[in-house]
Amino acid sequence: MPYPPTRAAWLCVALALLLFIVLGSKPASAFCGFYVGKADAKLFNEASQVILVRDGNRTVISMRNDFQGDLSEFALVVPVPVVLQKSQIHIGDPKTFERIDAYSAPRLAEYFDPNPCDLPRRERQMGAMNAAPAPMAKEQDSKKDKALGVTVEARYTIGEYDIAILSATESNGLETWLKQSGYRIPAGASKALRPYVRQNLKFFVARVNLTEQAKTGFSYLRPLQFAFEYERFMLPVRLGMLNARGPQDLVVYVLTKNGRVETTNYRTVKLPANVELPTYTRAEFGKFYKALFENQSKREDYRVVWTEYFWDMAWCDPCAADPLSPEELKRAGVFWLGGDEPAIGVAPGAAPPIAAPRSSSGAQPVMLTRLHLRYTPETLPEDLMFQETQDRQNFQARYVLRHAWNGDATACEAAPRYFEELAKRQEREAQTLAGLTGWDLNQIRARMNIATAPKTMWWDRLWK
Amino acid sequence: MTFSPRSVMAAAREVLPKDARVFQILFLALLLTTGVLVRDFSLHPLQMALAFAAGLATQAFWLKRLGLEQCGFLSAIVTCCGLSLLLRSDTLWAHPLVAALAMSSKFVLRIHGKHLYNPANLGVIAAITLIPGTWVSPGQWGNDLALAVWLLMLGTIVTTRARRLDISWVFLGAFLGLVALRILLLGQSWAIWWHQLGNGALLLFTFFMISDPMTIPNRRGPRIAYALIVAAAAIAWQYVLFRPNALIWALFLATPLVPLLDRLFPGERFLWRGPEAARPTPLRACATSGTPPTAVAEGSPAPARSATAASSSFPVLPSRT
């Protein structure tokens, strides 16, 4: 929830103090500032987005298809633990994805350097020290199906989708059945389907009912949602790799009650964040973030799941978008929110904590972990397995811009020193940007206009 | 002067420390540094410092209280390294509290003169079940085969030194064998097997936790059976129950079998410094090398079977003399 400026200032002081006491780390100028830009999931072509809601064994999965092409060719095959009833399947709202994406997207915050002449000397020294900020059918058909070992357990038409729930005894038979039934599935699907068939999983298969689709009036496909109980906290991603050309992107928004979610069979790492960048990145934050993500993923050989965001959904600072309302969360699949009571929100006057409180009283919390991974079939041999940790330390992929003071080096005695520090800081920013994105350092310097800045040598200060 | 491989090995044996724990500490420290610097462990330096402070202080407290001044702090350092490697927390107090608990367990939870649980294992389980804000990140090491080879090498040195290598290899073979069996049954890709082999957490567990000579059966046969039980339990936890942290849970659940196996199949109790390092003067036994203190001379092979003679009581606190 956005705070009025005065309260925000107090919160910053309180938060900085708390962080300093609790973690003994650098004071968090990091938590304050103005939100100026974000890098949402639309940046990444061919990025699949999934909202995964989980508590105990109860699971709600929403899948967004950015399917571009002939709708008659669309086919979705998802292994599910049980034969889903019609009431377990729902058509979601693409806006939910947009809202949750906007809320958790990597963001940019900016600050303006104060006039160094106005600052008492001691504060200047403190400022220099603390410059670095601290720190998701029919009878005949039925006979044919049996010969292939495929049983159509149920058929539904929901929204624009024709859905069938299948069970299969043999993966080749399943592949043949899907092909004969007009599903456009890639060659070699049976090999990928085999482990799921042998684990007695059912298959949720969907294609577009063109008549129904025309009735909706939408030019796009709406997300599919399904709710079920399953002991495995996982996401079957291997089937999606069959027709992959090159690395693919997946953004998973995991909504849980207790804490941050991570993968147990891959490394989960927080993206490098909370660093200061050259101010020119303001105009091209999207480009910067794309380059950063690409560079970091490549450096880790596409074997890392990145955490882009983890926060209690009751508040945010700075807010890239307003937190989701209880109604919106319910649409996303959050099933533990009560009916009408205000489930989330910050009590007036209460300072939000650094880590969310562990109280069981009152409204049930909703924690959002945004995981983003770029992978190839070779780097992701197993489906993603997750665990919910007890970690409640908030994290956001947040980048900081600090605008220089727009004054004169002769304005006061403190001014030359400020510009000296500024030059050092800008060099650091250039190096940070080059390190994160793999961009050419000299080009960055040129764009920042810092290469031409006269360099002050140590002796210049000696005899002044 | 000739330098035959044998003479070099003999010279190395003379120079290198006799106590396997020295190697263990060196390697665990190396892994901890690698983890923090290269693998982005979410471990605050202060958490680590507090864990060590509390762990060592607890060890000192128990040594003084039980009059075991001759015993050192090697085991405590090993445990604190292990806790720092495994346990994650969003508070500062969890690590020291767990370190103190883990070290105390070594002196309090004793059967037949051996401490029951591997202190780091008990500490981690106690933390994730009882202390809010703690967790274990099984994926933190990644599945990097290069790192796996390093872990294999370092682990082999330590376990060879501790003369309990059999349990590590049997466990690793059984675990990976069962993973392979599952892959065959399900028709999965063999890439999964390599992915499991490259898992740093598996290798760390294999060579630095299950191999703790103080908390495994004394005789070779039961030790191998125990390794097989732990491997089967871990596979069941991971692929039948689909729950995380299979290895540490399997070890924790199987540990009570150790005193039972030791009772059924008595054998020589392990001594950290080995018979060759035996000292002529009888010393009070360290908590790590067995109780009762008056009866056992550290490093002396003679009273090793006394463990079987000791009456079974739980827990056993060695009495002051």
Confidence of residue B13 (pLDDT cuts 50, 70, 90): low
How far apart CA B74 and CA A58 sit, in angstroms, is: 46
More confident residue, A189 or B99: B99
> Which residues of B are less than 8 Å from A262 in CB distance?
137, 139
Mutate to test the interface with B, among A239, A260, A261, A265 (most CBs of B within 10 A): A265
Distance CA B116, CA B106 (A): 7
Residue A268 contacts B where some CB pair is shorter than 8 Å: yes
Q: Which residues of A touch B140 (CB under 8 A)?
A: 267
The neighbour count for residue B74, using CB atoms within 10 Å, is 19
User: Quick check: B248 and B123 in contact, CB under 8 A?
Assistant: no
| Residue A136: per-residue pLDDT | 35
Contact A39, A106 (CB under 8 A): yes
pLDDT of A434 > 60? The answer is: yes
**Does residue B232 contact residue B175 with C-beta atoms inside 8 Å?**
no
CB B273 within 8 A of CB B74: no
- Residue A354 has a CB neighbour count (10 Å cut-off) of 17
Residue type, B140: Q
Contact between residue B255 and residue B215 where contact means Cβ atoms under 8 Å apart:
yes
Closest Cβ–Cβ partner in A263, A270, A378 for B139: A263
The answer to whether B126 and B98 have CB atoms below 8 angstroms apart is: yes
Strand A398-403 to strand A275-277: parallel, antiparallel, or no bridges (unpaired)? parallel
Question: Which whole-number Å values give the CA distances from B312 to B114, B116, B257, B305, in the listed order?
Answer: 11, 12, 14, 14
Give the rounded percent of residues in chain B with a pLDDT score beyond 70.
73
Given this model, what pLDDT does residue A363 score? Answer: 57
pLDDT for B14 equals: 59
In the numeric block, which tokens belong to residue B254? 């199987």
First to last CA, chain A: 51
The residue type found at A24 is G
Task: State how far the Cα of A381 lies from the Cα of A377, in Å rounded to an integer.
Answer: 6
Polymer length of chain B: 321
Q: Say which residues have a Cβ less than 8 Å from residue B240's Cβ, sequence separation at least 6.
A: none
Q: What is the pLDDT of residue A21?
A: 33
What chain B residue is nearest to A198 in terms of C-alpha separation? B186
Look at A103 and B289; give whichever has higher pLDDT: A103
Q: Percent of chain A having pLDDT more than 90?
A: 28
In 3-state terms chain B splits into helix, strand, coil percentages (rounded to 5) of 60, 5, 35
- CB of A258 within 8 Å of a chain B CB? The answer is no
Is the link from the previous residue into A116 a cis peptide, with omega within 30 of 0?
no
Residue A347 clears pLDDT 50, i.e. is over it: no
Preferred mutation among B98, B124, B137, B240 to probe A, highest tally of A CBs within 10 A: B137
Answer yes or no: is pLDDT of A306 > 80.
yes
Phi, psi dihedral angles at B251 (to 5 degrees): -65, -45
Q: Give the helix ranges, DSSP H, for A281-410.
A: 285-299, 326-332
One-character DSSP codes across B137-193: -TTTT-B-HHHHHHHHHHHHHHHHHTT-HHHHHHHHHHHHHHHHHHHHHHT--THHH
pLDDT of the residue at B312: 32
Enumerate residues 6+ apart whose C-beta is below 8 A from A279: A110, A401, A402, A403, A404, A448
pLDDT tens column, B26-75: 878 887 887 777 777 788 888 888 988 988 888 888 888 877 766 677 88
CA distance A304 to A300: 6
- CA dist A11 and A5 (Å) reads 10
Predicted local distance difference test score (pLDDT) of residue B15: 56
Residue type, B306: S
B140 reaches A (C-beta below 8 A): yes
Residue B303 sits at the chain A interface (C-beta within 8 Å): no
Examine the pLDDT at B282 and tell me if it is beyond 70: no
Question: Are B287 and B116 a contacting pair, CB within 8 Å?
Answer: no
**Three-state DSSP state, A305:** strand
B275 or A27, which is more confident: B275
State whether residue B194 sits within 8 Å of chain A by CB: yes
Higher pLDDT, A334 or A213: A334
pLDDT at A54 over 90: yes
Average pLDDT for A201-207? 89
Give residue A108's identity as a one-letter amino acid code: L
Q: Which of A364, A345, A380, A386 is nearest to A52 (CA)?
A: A386
Instruction: Report the first-to-last Cα separation within chain B, whole angstroms.
Output: 53
Task: Judge whether residue B295 has pLDDT over 60.
Answer: no
Of B40, B89, B244, the CB nearest to A387: B244
Q: pLDDT value at position A217? A: 81
Amino acid letter, A382: E
Domain range list for chain A: 5-66+88-136+245-403
For A261, the 3-state DSSP assignment is strand
Interface mutation target, options B188, B192, B196, chain A, most CBs of A under 10 Å: B188
Residue A69 C-beta-side C-alpha neighbours within 13 Å: 9
Distance of CA A121 to the CA centre of its chain: 42
Q: Give me the pLDDT at residue B97, please.
A: 93
Find the mean pLDDT for residues A357-383: 78
**Distance (Å) from the alpha carbon of A388 to chain B's nearest alpha carbon:** 9
pTM over 0.90: no
CB atoms within 10 A of CB A346: 14
Length of chain A: 464
Residue B244: phi, psi to the nearest 5?
Answer: -80, 170
In the predicted structure, residue B135 carries a pLDDT above the cut 80 = yes
Task: Give dist(CA A449, CA A430) in Å, integer.
Answer: 11
Percent of chain A surpassing pLDDT 70 = 75
> Which DSSP string corresponds to B1-61?
----HHHHHHHHHHHS-S-HHHHHHHHHHHHHHHHHHHS-----HHHHHHHHHHHHHHHHH
Check residue A350 and give its pLDDT: 37
Assign residue A321 a region: left if phi > 0, alpha if psi is -120 to 50, beta otherwise? beta
The DSSP secondary-structure symbol of A385 reads E
Q: Of B206, B161, B163, B118, whose CA–CA distance to B24 is shortest?
A: B161
Beta-carbon separation of A303 and B186 below 8 A: no
Residue B312 CB neighbours (<10 A): 9
Tell me the average pLDDT across B166-176.
90
SS3 A372: strand
- A360 pLDDT tier (thresholds 50, 70, 90): very low
CB atoms within 10 A of CB B224: 17
Q: How far apart are CA B290 and CA B128, in angstroms?
A: 29
User: Confidence class of residue A11 from pLDDT cuts 50, 70 and 90?
Assistant: very low
pLDDT (mean) for A414-435: 89
Mean pLDDT, rounded, for A359-371: 73
**What does the block give as tokens for A392?**
């409640």
Peptide bond into B301 cis (omega under 30): no
SS3 call for A248:
strand
Full strand arrangement of the beta sheet holding A234-235: A234-235, A384-388, A261-263
Average pLDDT over every residue of A25-39 = 41
Average pLDDT score, chain A: 78
Contact A264 B138 (CB under 8 A): yes
Token pair of A3 as six digits: 């705070």
pLDDT interval class at B288 (50, 70, 90): very low
Q: How far, in whole angstroms, is CA B187 from its chain's centroid?
A: 35
**Residue A355 CA, distance from chain mean position:** 19
DSSP string for residues in A166-178: EEES-HHHHHHHH
| DSSP output for A183-221 | ----TTHHHHHHHHHHTT-EEEEEEE-HHHHHHHT-SSP
Q: What is the mean pLDDT of the segment spanning A27-38?
A: 40
Helices (H), A50-186: 94-104, 121-129, 139-147, 171-180
Mean pLDDT of B236-254: 92
B185 touches chain A (CB under 8 A): yes
To which residue do tokens 């330098």 refer?
Answer: B3
**What residues of A are in contact with residue B191 (Cβ under 8 Å)?**
378, 381
Mean predicted confidence (pLDDT) in B185-201:
87
Highest mean pLDDT among A37-51, A61-75, A183-197, B271-285: A183-197
Q: Which range, of A25-29, A216-220, A246-250, B255-259, averages the lowest pLDDT?
A: A25-29
Compute the count of residue pairs across chains A and B with CB atoms less than 8 Å apart: 89
Using CA atoms, how far residue B11 sits from A119, A132, B41, B180, in Å, is 67, 51, 38, 42
pLDDT of residue A289: 92
DSSP type of residue A149: T
In this predicted structure, what is the pLDDT of residue B4?
A: 64
CA–CA distance, A247 with A300 (Å, rounded to integer):
13
CB contact under 8 Å between A382 and B195, yes or no, is yes
Tell whether B133 is within 8 A of chain A (Cβ).
yes
Q: Do A268 and B90 touch (CB under 8 A)?
A: no
The pLDDT > 90 percentage for chain B reads: 20
